[in-house]
Amino acid sequence: MNSFFDRLRDLFKPSSAGYPRDSLNEPAQITNNKVLVIAYDPLMDSSSETRLSKLMKWHQVQDLITGFMADLILMSNGMARYQIVQRVDVDEFPVKTDGFRYTPDSYLNILRDGYSPHVPQGASYTALFTKYNILQRVANHEI
**Cα distances (angstroms) measured from residue 105 to each of 44, 45, 60, 67:** 8, 10, 21, 30
Q: 48 in helix, strand or coil? A: coil
| pTM greater than 0.85 (yes/no) | no
| pLDDT score recorded for residue 18 | 66
CB 118 within 8 A of CB 100: yes
Q: Please write the tens of the pLDDT for every residue from 45-70.
A: 989 999 999 999 999 999 999 999 99
Rounded Cα distance between 57 and 60, Å, is: 9
